[in-house]
Structure 1
């Protein structure tokens, strides 16, 4: 197991809309884990899909974090400026025979649970736009790791399919970008929602192939809406509060949602006071795992 010299965590939102309460809980969990360990907490803007990222939303997100007292270390990194690093990583994977061009559309394989690998020996329709996929059957497998909340995990990436690394439209896909950024930023600990737990096998496979150390992982339960849906921008979750009293109340609720049992007298206190208490009392073992884990994640397939 790789030993990191210091704790470096990160929060990496997609600027497709302002942060909502579910985003706050994820950001807070990663922040508290980093600060309680005496480590650094970085912010990275995952804006590799410009059509999904309205101008100015990244600035809104940064101001929201500041309003809730979640101040980061160092300079913010924008993925949209990292294309050269992703291309270099893709070339290294190509040299190892771990990626291939694919001309298939999702419609062509919609009757399958995962992409069947039809283009592994060459594009099925030469001349059509291609995506670049990972040969998940050739890298390290199976993948096993100890999640800090959900315990020992074990997946065979080949069962998950050959995920896209670069899309047909030339945009970079999440799986490659996140691995390269975490590796280059020396991220030691990844704290994020459990909906991304089953992305981890691909990411560990890529980390190993690219020579990056494997971070520690902590997947947190999701915040659900009253109708049982994940609280998300796609489900029109409302933006975080912007008025000081409401900010203080939402922050207290987020600490409660992480099962940290803050004292009642902290409700309504300034963010700095609430965060100081939460950092001093942060205990991962208090977090209650969700009864069920989602199987399919938002980043599963990108064309």
Structure 2
């Protein structure tokens, strides 16, 4: 009986001819296509959100730049009238010059200070982690809150003038934020203070990739500290320089919070920027079309300088 049932059991265990096991006909290529298709479906909500918030909103704002809309009610297409008014208004031209001054001044001074600090903290010192945290702290703090602290410091009865009086330089005390000559410089100080830590972190990441053997070989060949920095370190951190300057220019061109907290654009428009003018035109004066035109001009300036900067600082494949 056992001998009779054994062939039947083996036949039952063997797969029937013409039937495929589950998943046997699914090739690796079809599985990959299905997985990629699934990934596209997962990304669609995020893509739609970014497209709606950034591109659609920017396109609608760009359209209203060619109208006389006040933000409420009907509007009429006016063509290039808003843009002509921008370059005919001395206040807006002054805001453009202030924007460029603050952007490039903060990038230049902030990147130099950040690079110096990064070079100093790149060495093996016991307190380097604590110092990194202290220098990076202004980046994570609220710009509005820190601006009010700086406003108290620069106040006529604030700590800065009290310190000048205490050291016998009381004749140098002045209303820093109310003086048209010095107000823009006080804003620049605040911007440099807040951007140095961010540049420091980027440069430290770049310095981590500099080969120590190359620096040691240059030192053995007789290169001094400046020659090693110029010929070895600086070419190696060129991508970090490109990132730091690009982000710094973009952030400097659209600076808004510190100026509104420190001076509100005053005194007498001495610290007005394109960003503050966009806010005032659109929301304070009800000239939404003019504010949209200013915003479009600001976006074009940011894009122009970002592209130029990337071309100037991009890495050379031969390096």
TM over 0.5: no
User: TM-score, normalised on structure 1?
Assistant: 0.24
Going by fraction, where is helix more abundant, 1 or 2?
A: 2
Higher-RCO chain (CA-CA 8 Å, sequence separation at least 6): 2
User: Of Structure 1 and Structure 2, which has the larger fraction of its residues in strand?
Assistant: 1
TM-score normalised per structure 2: 0.23
